[in-house]
Amino acid sequence: MRKIAFTNQKGGVGKTTTTINTGAGLSNLGYKVLLVDMDPQANLTYSLKLHSNRIDKNIYHVLKSEATIEEIVIKHKSFDIIPSSIDLSGAEMELVNIPAREMLLKDAFMEIESKYDFVLIDCPPNLGVLTLNAFTAANELIIVLQSEYLALHGLSKLMDVIQVVQRRLNKDLKVEGIVCTLYDNRKNLNREVVGHIRDYFGAKVFNTVIRDNVALAEAPSHHKTIFEYDGESNGAHDYQMLAKEIRNGH
Ligand SMILES: Nc1ncnc2c1ncn2[C@@H]1O[C@H](COP(=O)(O)OP(=O)(O)O)[C@@H](O)[C@H]1O
Ligand SMILES: [Mg+2]
């Protein structure tokens, strides 16, 4: 079971979009996929319209040992989902006094060991205890970078945190790859930025670049993956290519 966390402590770079549509792309390839929403903003959950009063428990309750994954998991056509909610925003504070508070998600995953081919975790836009839980539970990280000026800004802080996690919490964690998103080929600046990212990270950067594509921004308001919303779009093409690169290993 490959457990991959999609991360960047910046918001708006395409983490949630990438988690959902890479998951759908892997599902198209025949794999059993679980998506885990670790962001208190619950954008992944809302994008798939899983948020309603129907769900009274979510990942927050799992982290607090008040629910099992099996109790809260939701079935979607393409994958299973562990939803989040605003409840989770209190977790950072509440978990402060819990021993080994970075291990809670990893421990919860023992329940699903080998039930899925891929577990994809959508991280919140910070480097707090929820992100540390994601990095400890995962065995791979994919860093999501927007193809914009300052894309690399703040990345050394992320790399420091990854190294600390590898040293203290999860020695098996590896950076599987870097994916550039929101790429507009007409903009010289975007081309330059992706060039810099490739110079800096070399072969770690996926060949697939996710283009700026309005269908990707529209799909969540229809509560659909890109493949359900517009299977012919550039977004569908790019995420299917990315899913294949991830499947093949980097
Ligand atoms: N490749 C893309 N093309 C067009 N819009 C995108 C693309 N990727 C993401 N978006 C839009 O940009 C916004 C931020 O993306 P999101 O995945 O929510 O980022 P994050 O999870 O990093 O905060 C959302 O409105 C999303 O629909
Ligand atoms: Mg997000």
Q: pLDDT per position in the chain (250 positions), as tens? A: 999 999 999 999 999 999 999 999 999 999 999 999 999 999 999 999 876 545 589 999 999 999 999 999 999 999 999 999 998 998 878 888 888 999 999 999 999 988 999 999 999 999 999 999 999 999 999 999 999 888 888 899 999 999 999 999 999 999 999 999 999 988 888 999 999 999 999 999 999 999 999 999 999 999 999 999 999 999 999 999 999 999 999 7
Q: What is the pLDDT of residue 154?
A: 85
Q: What contacts 245, CB < 8 A, 6 or more positions away? A: 177, 206, 207, 208
Tokens of 228: 């359900």
Q: What is the pLDDT of residue 118?
A: 98
Cα 237 to averaged position of ligand 1 atoms, centre (Å):
16
As a dihedral over the C-alpha atoms of residue 94, residue 98, residue 100, residue 102, rounded to 10 degrees, the angle is -10
Distance CA 43, CA 38 (A): 10
Q: What is the position in ligand 1's atom list of the atom closest to the CA of 218? A: 27
CB 122, CB 15: distance < 8 Å:
yes
To test the pocket of ligand 1, the residue of 17, 45, 145 to mutate (highest count of ligand atoms within 8 Å of its CB) is 17
CB 26, CB 33: distance < 8 Å:
yes
Structural domain of residue 157, as residue ranges? 2-6+11-248
Tokens of 159: 């790399």
Residue type, 176: E
> Which residue, judged by its Cα, is nearest atom 11 of ligand 1?
217
* Nearest partner of 63 among 118, 132, 130, 127, judged by Cα: 130
Give residue 21's Cα distance to chain centre.
10
Q: What contacts 93, CB < 8 A, 6 or more positions away? A: none
Domain CATH code at residue 192: 3.40.50.300
Q: What is the pLDDT of residue 55?
A: 59
> Which residue, judged by its Cα, is nearest atom 24 of ligand 1?
217
66-69: list long-range contacts, CB under 8 Å, 24+ apart. Answer: 68/108, 68/111, 69/108, 69/109, 69/111, 69/112
Q: Phi and psi dihedrals of 85, rounded to 5?
A: -160, 170
DSSP β-ladder status, 80-82 and 74-75 = antiparallel
Q: What is the pLDDT of residue 47?
A: 95
Q: What is the pLDDT of residue 146?
A: 94
Q: What is the position in ligand 1's atom list of the atom closest to the CA of 10? A: 22
Ligand 1 pocket: which residues have CB below 6 Å? Answer: 11-17, 43, 125, 181-182, 210, 212-213, 216-217, 220
- Total tally of structural domains belonging to the chain: 1
Surrounding ion ligand 2 within 5 Å at CB are: 15-16, 43
Distance CA 211, CA 238 (A): 7
Q: What is the position in ligand 1's atom list of the atom closest to the CA of 144? A: 22
> Which residue, judged by its Cα, is nearest atom 9 of ligand 1?
14
Could you write out the DSSP letters of every residue in 55-74?
Answer: ----HHHHHTTSS-HHHH-E
